Structure formats: structure tokens, C-alpha cells
Amino acid sequence: MVACRAACRSEINRGSILLNKASLEAARKFGRTLERTQYFPEERMLAYQRRLLEPLLRHARAEVPFYGNRFKVLFDRNDDIRWAAWPDIPTFTRKEAQQAGEQMFARNLPVEAGAVEFGETSGSTGRPLKFQTNSLMRLMKGAVGEQILNWHKVDKTKSAAFIMDHKGNHPLPGGSKGHLWNMEKPDSSVFQLSLGYTVEQQVQWLSQTNAKVLISYPSNAAAILKYVKDNDLAAPFDTVVCNGECLTEDVRQFLTKDGDIKVVDRFGASEIGPISAACPENHTIHHQFSEIGLVENLEPESDVALTSGSGRMVITPFYNYAMPLIRYENEDYIETSDKLCGCGRTLPIINKIVGRRRNLFKFANGKVRWPNFDVTEFMPFLPAHQFQFIQKTITHIDVLYVHDGSSREPDAEKMKTYMQGKLNEKFDISIIKKTSIPKLRSEKFEDCISLVE
Ligand SMILES: [Zn+2]
């Protein structure tokens, strides 16, 4: 069981579930390409990626003011690309993208990129990011989304329920109804409900829709399942397609415990598109979608590239021409592997989506640590039914908890020893009793947050 539930896969492609009819044929065609590319040898994939990167780089250089001279190192005297210089292109963060504002947007788009689409992240990491994408990217997202359903053999004849909307566009009593949640069976219904309703209200709505495929935050799916179990009701879904946050091991185990619910985990962000999804044969690892983006893993406190281990994710999606993101850090941290998966796919492996920068605890001399507290290990010292760790300074961590109602009280000394042992650092702690621990604005909950910059 993993205690730290970093809400790291922030604003997964909300729109991509709902394709539009005009793009269906083109998306299906790309889907057939994906069937082959997932088995490409490394060299062939690299060549494939460079063919997609080159026109994007030339476009960004010509049309996007933000990039200015950023690619100077990349082009030689004959204006050819020197790929060896790729690591010298400066990376930039989500905060820098926010500050750059409209400088990130392309003045003109090639016709093939399609129409510009506008979006805004849900702001789970503070200020929302206004972003642009284009219809070609939506099409690619649709094709990749379909591939994920195919990998996991999701029954596309069933209706789906989509509970992801933050804006209140699909209110009770009925939510709203549409089609095209998948490409193979475009007539299958999809019902949508806005977030923010109680679990009981969601269960009632789900039973009215008779949708069996739930697309939502995994923590929301787990809350629904807990509610129906507590009330001796039947589960209102048999498949959960995860959106919007990390699927933690404890949530995965809870959802799949009885063996009658299929869980499909995926990772992405609105401005980037899909990044990876769980391997159908090895559910604990993800395969990266190398066909639509380049994922790099850099050391947390330097720009040294890692082939394996935990580091900062730097990503370059290939099909966003409206707001090209060349070596963009959205502040997610990942753990990659240089091994090949036993399933036969050659798509690179992400072992774990570790968290966001703010989930990373920081100590003296620039040392950073992932708080890997295990709830089963610290529960003997903390009688909590809800908890949160907040690092206030480089030498102090607050442990917030909601008492579990038992007669036990926290053991601060043992808790401190446990936490220091896990993080291999010295610091003080305060244990603070709360009546509740609020969720963040985006409805997500994070167990470990560092306020140290
Ligand atoms: Zn695999």
C-alpha cells in the first residue's frame, strides 16, 4: 500500500474521449499505424520521431515568439538539424509557459494542423495554464485512446459514464448524453456528469444511466465502490478507465479485489495529450506513446539524462502546432526503465509516475527525497483515518490527521523516527489534529506536499 497519493496526472485529455464524426476515419487510419509502430525497433522509432519533430521545430522557430533563439544550437550553417545538439535546447517549466502567455501561441498554423482549440488546465498546481491545441492533436488523442481500450479489451458496445467535468456543464438531474466515446462502436452512448456531487448522488445517477464503463478519477471510482459495498448495493460499473490522477497501488487493489472490475490506467495532460498507459499484460508498468511525443527523464537537480530511475519528465508532443511544447516540464516526476517489456511491445517503460515537484521533499544541500511513507507501517503510531504530510521548511514537516475515533493517541516520537528513517534526513515534526482535510480546488487530494521551493 502506498500512502502518498500524488495527484500528478493533472488534467488528462478530457475532450479526447468524445471524438467528432468528421475526424473518425482519419483517427481510425492512425490507429492502424499504431498497431504496427508499437513494435518498432528503437532505431526505427527514433527515425519516425525525428520525421515528426523536424517540421514541428521549423514551425515553432518561425511562428512562435517564445522560442526566439532557443533552437540556435540545433541548426547548422546549412539550416540542417544537428540531432546531437538536442539536449542543449533549454527546457522550460509550466510556470515559464504561464509567464510567457500568448508568446507561446503560433501566429499561423499549417493547414494540416486543423483548427485551433482553446483550453485551460484545472489549476491543481496553482494558477491554471491557458493553452491551445489543434484538431489534428485531438484526432491523434482519439486514436491513442482507442488503442488503450483495445489493449485492455474494453467492451465498447457498453455505455460509458464520464464524470470529469469541472465546469458544471453536465448538472443533475440527468447530466447529458452523447455518443462516440470510442471509434469502433460509435453509436454506444456516453453519459456525462459534472464533478462535485456526493457519492450517493453519483451512484443514483449511474444506476439510471446503466453505463458500465466509468471514466473518472480513480479515487472517485474507489469512493463510489466503497459506498455501494457499505450499503450492500451492486457495483454500478464493471470497468474503470482512469483519468486525471495517479492510480495508486492501494486504489488499484481495492478496485480489483473482487476480480469483477477491470481497471485501465493511463497518464497524460490536457496541453500535452496522452503520455502513457498501463501495459495490458503487466498492469503495474506503463508504456510510453513514442509515436506522439518524446519523453525524456532528467536528473531532479541537473540536466543529466537518465535511462532509468526517477527524474523530471521533459516532454515534446509532436502534434500540438497551436502551442508547440519543445522540451516542456509540466513538473511531473517519473521513474523509467531501460528494459524491454515481456509483452513484446517495444514502447519504452515508465515504472512509476512518482509525483509532482511539490510532492517532493527538499532538504539542505539541495537534496530531494520522495516521501514514500507506507500507511500500514505508520498506522501503529498515528490513529488516523485521513492524513496529510506538509513540509513547511527544510527542517520541519507537519503531519495533519483526522482521528480514527479509536481510544489511541499519536506517538509523536515513534512517528518522527519512522519518517526520518524513510527519508534518511533529520527534521522536526508537528502532529496536528484536524476535523477534516480539505481537497484541493480540482477535487483532487494529495497526501504529501512540500512548501519549500
Ligand atoms: Zn508491455
* pLDDT recorded at residue 78: 96
Ligand 1 centroid to residue 282 C-alpha, Å = 6
104: left (phi over 0), alpha (psi -120 to 50) or beta: alpha
* pLDDT recorded at residue 326: 98
Q: Which of 22-31, 122-131, 227-236 has the lowest mean pLDDT?
A: 122-131
Most confident of the following: 6-15, 41-50, 160-169: 41-50
Ligand 1 centroid to residue 207 C-alpha, Å = 34
Burial of 70 (0-12, 13-18, 19+ CB in 10 A): middle
Q: Rounded to the nearest 10 degrees, how much is the dihedral formed by the CA atoms of 274, 100, 441, 253?
A: 30
Q: Which of 70-74, 208-212, 365-369, 411-415 has the lowest mean pLDDT?
A: 365-369
* pLDDT recorded at residue 20: 65
* pLDDT recorded at residue 368: 75
Ligand 1 centroid to residue 202 C-alpha, Å = 34
Beta-strand relationship, 273-278 and 266-269: antiparallel
Percent of the chain at pLDDT exceeding 70:
92
* pLDDT recorded at residue 122: 64
Of 323, 246, 253, 258, the closest CA to residue 286 belongs to: 246
* pLDDT recorded at residue 372: 75
Percent of the chain at pLDDT exceeding 90:
66
* pLDDT recorded at residue 11: 33
Question: Does residue 298 carry a pLDDT above 90?
Answer: yes
The stretch 46-64 carries a mean pLDDT of: 98
Ligand 1 centroid to residue 257 C-alpha, Å = 22
The pLDDT tens digits for 346-402 are 999 999 887 777 777 888 877 777 787 877 789 899 998 888 899 999 999 999 998
Ligand 1 centroid to residue 156 C-alpha, Å = 22
Ligand 1 centroid to residue 344 C-alpha, Å = 6
The stretch 11-24 carries a mean pLDDT of: 52
Ligand 1 centroid to residue 286 C-alpha, Å = 7
Residues 6+ apart with CB under 8 A from 259: none
Q: Which of 47-61, 232-246, 354-368, 371-385 has the lowest mean pLDDT?
A: 354-368
Q: Which of 126-130, 307-311, 402-406 has the lowest mean pLDDT?
A: 126-130
pLDDT-derived band at 207 (thresholds 50, 70, 90) equals very high
* pLDDT recorded at residue 8: 34
Ligand 1 centroid to residue 281 C-alpha, Å = 6
The stretch 166-195 carries a mean pLDDT of: 91
Ligand 1 centroid to residue 347 C-alpha, Å = 8
Ligand 1 centroid to residue 411 C-alpha, Å = 43
Ligand 1 centroid to residue 146 C-alpha, Å = 17
Using the CB atoms, write b or e for 128-144: b if 16+ within 10 Å: bbbbbbbbbbbbbbbbb
Question: Does residue 429 carry a pLDDT above 60?
Answer: yes
Ligand 1 centroid to residue 280 C-alpha, Å = 7
The pLDDT tens digits for 316-338 are 999 999 999 999 998 888 999 99
Secondary structure letter of residue 108 according to DSSP: S
pLDDT-derived band at 14 (thresholds 50, 70, 90) equals very low
* pLDDT recorded at residue 445: 56
Question: Does residue 444 carry a pLDDT above 60?
Answer: no
The stretch 292-315 carries a mean pLDDT of: 92
List the domains of the chain with CATH numbers: 15-356 (3.40.50.12780), 361-450 (3.30.300)
* pLDDT recorded at residue 442: 42
Question: Does residue 9 carry a pLDDT above 50?
Answer: no
Ligand 1 centroid to residue 336 C-alpha, Å = 13
Is the model more confident about 167 or about 418? 418
* pLDDT recorded at residue 5: 32
Q: Which of 192-196, 239-243, 434-438 has the lowest mean pLDDT?
A: 434-438
- The x, y and z cell numbers of residue 269, run together, are 495532460
Full DSSP string of 154-220: --TTS-EEEEEESSS-S-TTT-EEEE-SSSSSTTSEEEEEES-S-HHHHHHHHHHHT--EEEE-HHH
CA 348 to chain centre: 17
| Residue-averaged pLDDT of the chain | 88
| CA gap 245, 265 in Å, rounded | 10
